Structure 1
């Protein structure tokens, strides 16, 4: 296919529209549930009060607001794709933000700024009572009448277009991790699949063997590891494909596959990490130096051991517990003597090369 043909095909996958709306209209859409901010997405609302104040100041001073991006589903309802921090700040200010995040944050109290020092301590307040700490009815109306451009991705677009748009808008200077971006789109594609994925990432054997810290849990590292496990089993890795592009593609395929056997795959996941925990505990997925397991969690060991055990789960499950644990522990030690593993698991090896070389090794290496 020529470049011009590729461009034509790609453009057909994205159907867009857009127009300007007032902030007040956007607030009303949200209140009427015609603009949806998914609770999972809402948890990514992270601006501190200083950034929120600077944004509100920009509205007051008439500085143009960057566009927000929404996906219009088949019912005409808009799902927010980009603009979470800005829209949530406005909704928190006006007291219209809904959900657990709203309860956590409480009312937005503004700070003083270089241009508007008198904003300090001000909040929305009921305009009828003209509270001393309120910004006043005139300013409330002015904020509601401010204009913002809304870019709309129509439902006729290819499903992956929503993911692609959100990813491109949120992985530049953003603080979102690749998995947080993935989570936000996965939940809109298949909430049941997303919930299932998160539940397995919280499996006690999985959490223990992967040694997740509070920081890694907050960054959704556990969800990404669980996704890797399921993806390696369900979606063959294409050599040369960027690891995160592979995971993006895999999660879409699994979330949209109505025949994906979540119950069966979940059972294999639970057995896999139960057996690894029984054999290695917190030493799982660490370096063997010839005497003991030590150091930090290693992705290369996780990819081989977890995938290998899962691919041979029937045979491994049939072993008696003591023999099963000895088998897994011995394999984890012997892995560090395997020429292919040591060659392609080093720090200087690209993730694409590592996956293409080590995933095929996993099944045979862990075969009883």
Structure 2
């Protein structure tokens, strides 16, 4: 397809609108549930008070701010795609932010800024002790009259357009990891799928075998590993495709595919990591040095061992427990004598090359 044709086809997938609105109008839409921020998105609200104060300063001084992006569903309700930090800051300040996160954050008390040092200690409503710390009503009105552009992605856009927009606006920023971007869009694509993915990423055997640290859990690394597992089973990897683009595509396909059997795939996941946990525990995805399993978690071992076990569950279940455990342990050791694995699992091997070479041999390597 020629470039001009590709452009024309892609443009048809995205139907947009947009106009300026006052902050007060946006607050009213949120109050009336005509603008929705999913609670999962709220957990990504990470600005500190200093940055929040600088944003409020920008509104007061009339400094232009970036637009917010929303998705308009078939009922006309707007779903926030981008602008979480800015919009949540305003809602926290005015006391309109909803949900558990609002109670956790409490009222926003501003810091002094370079241009407005007298903002220090100010809040929307004066505190009960008469400290004269409330924002004066004329200034409140100015803040609510400040204008921001709202870019609207219409519901009749292609289903992938919302994902693409959210990803391009957020990926690469300091605040969100690749998987947090996927999590956020999974919520809007299919909440049931998102909850199911999170549930399995919290499976005790899965957490044990992957040896996730607190930092990894907080960055959603475990959710990405669970997604990788399901993607490798369900979506054939195309050699050369960027790994994160592959995972993006796999998430979108699984979340929107009515034939994707959550119960069946969930059972496969549970059995796979239970078997690995029983055989190797926290050593499941580490290097075998000829005497011991040691070192850090290795993605290459995870990809081969978990995928391989999942494709041989019937045969592995037929074995006695001690036989199954001995077989899996021996397979993990033998992996390091396999020429293909050794050639394509080491440092310096691109993820695209590793997946293309190792995934096709996983099932055979773990076949009893």
Contact 1:69/1:83, CA 8 A, preserved across alignment: yes
Task: Report the equivalent of 2:160.
Answer: 160
Q: State the shift of 1:126 in Å.
A: 5.7
CA distance, structure 2, for counterparts of residue 126 and residue 318 of structure 1: 70
> For the residues of structure 2 that align with 1:277 and 1:29, how far apart are their CA atoms?
49
Q: Provide the C-alpha distance between the structure 1 equivalents of 2:332 and 2:171, rounded to a whole number of angstroms.
A: 36
TM superposition score normalised by structure 1:
0.98
Match of 1:348 in 2: 348
Q: Distance in 2 between matches of 1:170 and 1:130?
A: 42
Distance 2:364 2:131 in 1: 72
Whole-Å Cα distance in 1 between the matches of residues 15 and 190 of structure 2? 22
* Residue of structure 1 equivalent to 2:105: 105
CA shift for structure 1 position 174: 3.5
Aligned to 2:313: 313
Alpha-carbon offset, residue 171 of structure 1: 1.2
Name the Cα RMSD after superposition.
1.3
Distance in 2, matches of 1:172 and 1:57, equals: 26
Structure 2 spans left out of the alignment, 5+ residues: none
State the alpha-carbon separation in 1 of the partners of residues 116 and 176 from structure 2. Answer: 30
1:240 is aligned to: 240
CA distance in 2, matches of 1:74, 1:313: 43
The whole-number CA distance in structure 2 between the counterparts of 1:253 and 1:130 is: 56
Q: Within 2, Cα distance between the matches of 1:19 and 1:50?
A: 29
Task: Flag structure 1 segments of 5+ consecutive residues without an equivalent.
Answer: none
Aligned length: 368
Q: How does 1:59-138 map to 2 (within 5 A)?
A: 59-125=59-125, 132-138=132-138
Q: Secondary structure at the match of 1:135?
A: coil
d(CA) in 2 for partners of 1:345 and 1:99?
A: 45
Q: How far apart, in 2, do the equivalents of 1:113 and 1:265 lie?
A: 53
Give the aligned partner of residue 144 of structure 1: 144
Q: Match of 2:229?
A: 229
Deviations 1:119-160 (A, max 9, x none): 110000069x98611011111000000000000000111011
Contact residue 125 and residue 131 of structure 1 kept, 8 A:
no
Question: How far apart are the structure 2 equivalents of 1:313 and 1:205?
Answer: 16
The 3 A distance-change label for structure 1 pair 243 and 57 is same
**CA separation in 2, counterparts of 1:130 and 1:242?**
59
Q: What is the CA deviation profile of residues 146-192 of structure 1, one whole-angstrom value per residue up to 9, with x for unaligned ones?
A: 00000000011101110001000001333200000000000101000
CA-to-partner distance for each residue in 1:68-92, whole Å, 9 max, x for gaps? 0001011111010100000000000
- State how 1:157-196 maps to structure 2 within 5 Å: 157-196=157-196
Aligned ranges 1:258-269 → 2 under 5 Å: 258-269=258-269
1:364 aligns with 2:360: no
Counterpart CA distance in 2 for 1:130 and 1:159 is: 52
Matches of residues 43-54 of structure 1 in structure 2 within 5 Å? 43-54=43-54
* Distance in 1 (alpha carbons) for counterparts of 2:119 and 2:177: 33
CA distance in 1, matches of 2:91, 2:130: 20
Assess if the C-alpha contact under 8 Å between 1:110 and 1:119 holds in 2. yes
Contact 1:121 1:133 in 2 (8 A): yes
